[in-house]
Amino acid sequence: MLPLLHYFSDGKEHKNKESTEYISDKFNLSTEEKSELMQSGQSVIYNRTAWAKTYLLKAGLLSSPKRGYAVITENGLSVLKTKPERIDILFLEKFPSFIEFRTIKKETANEPQMLESQHDEESTPDELMDKGYHSIQASLAQDLLNKLRVVDPYFFEEVVGVLLTAMGYGRFEPTPGSGDDGIDGIVYQDKLGLDKIFFQAKRYAENNPVPATAVRDFVGTLDLHGVSKGIFITTSRFPKDTNDILKRTQKNIILIDGTRLANLMIEFNVGVSTEKTYQIKIMDSDFFPED
C-alpha cells in the first residue's frame, strides 16, 4: 500500500492498469509472475494492487473521481509527509472511514474474531474463502452506504421502499413531500390496505447517529395515525437509549442501521449485481460403490 500511495503522490488520476504496471515494475516482477492468474482469470498482481487501492480508498487516502480511476487526497498527501515506513491494516485503523469498513466486515462475518486474528498460513481453505467473501461484502456494503448518503433524499426513500417490497413485506407507496408527518413511505401488507407499515428513512453520516428524539417522534406519529407497525431506517446508527424508547411502547417498531441496511440490499439484490459466481464441489460418495 505504501508504494502505491507514493505512485499517486503526483496528484494525477491513474487507471487500475497503470497502477498495476507501476507495482509490477516496483517489485521487479518477472514476465511469469506478471502472467500468474487466479482461478477467475484475473492476474494475481492486478488483484493484489486493486485490493491495496481499495483499502487506501476506504481509509480516505485515495478517492475515486470516476469508475476505474483513483487520485490521492489531502489526507493521503499528509500521510506521505510523515514518511511512514509501512502502511498496513493497523496503520489504516486510525482513519474513521476505514474503521467503519472494518466494523461492517466484523458484523457481516459469522466468526469475526477468528477471521480477523488468524494468519493465512494458519487458516483452512474454507476459512480463507470465508475471509475473502466477507471482505468483498464489507467493501460493497460501505460503497452502498457512501452512495446512499449523497443521493437525492427522495431517491433514498424510494430505495428503502423497493427493499422492503423485495423482502416480501408488501406493496410500497411513497408519501407526499409535504404534510407527511415525517413518514417517508407506506408498505401495504394486504390488497385493501388495512394492514400497513409506516417507515422513515434518514440519511446521516457514519459519525452522526440518529438522535433519540427522532425515534420518539416516529413513535408519536404512529400513535397519531393509529398504526402499530413501523420501520426506522438510517445510513448511520442508533444510540443505545433508543432501546428504552421502544421498550415503553407496545408498537412493533424495527430499527435498521446503516450496516444492516447495506447487507439487506446485498441479500435481496437491491442496487447490486452479481459479478462472478464460484461453485465449490465435493466428491459424491453415492456415485462410487461401497467397499
Looking at every residue in the chain, the average pLDDT score rounds to 86
- What pTM was computed for the model? 0.69
Residue 256 cell numbers, joined? 435498521
Mean pLDDT value of segment 156-177: 88
Q: What is the DSSP string of 251-273?
A: SEEEEE-HHHHHHHHHHTTSS--
Residue 159 cell numbers, joined? 430505495
CA dist 117 and 134 (Å) reads 14
H helices of the chain, in order, are 2-7, 16-26, 31-35, 44-58, 74-81, 89-92, 96-108, 112-117, 125-148, 153-166, 212-225, 242-247, 258-267
User: Which residue, chain included where needed, has cell 493465512?
Assistant: 120
The CATH code for residues 153-256 is 3.40.1350.10
- pLDDT tens digits for 201-255? 999 887 888 999 999 999 999 988 888 999 999 999 998 888 888 888 888 999 9
- pLDDT tens digits for 5-29? 999 999 999 998 999 999 999 999 9
CA dist 7 and 10 (Å) reads 7
Closest CA to 61 of 79, 36, 41, 87: 79
CA dist 9 and 145 (Å) reads 27
Residue 242 cell numbers, joined? 433508543
Sequence-ordered list of residues with C-beta below 8 angstroms from that of 27, at least 6 positions apart, any chain:
none
Q: Which residues belong to CATH 3.40.1350.10 in the chain?
A: 153-256
The pLDDT > 90 percentage for the chain reads 45
φ/ψ bin of 176: left (φ > 0), alpha (ψ from -120 to 50), beta (otherwise)? beta
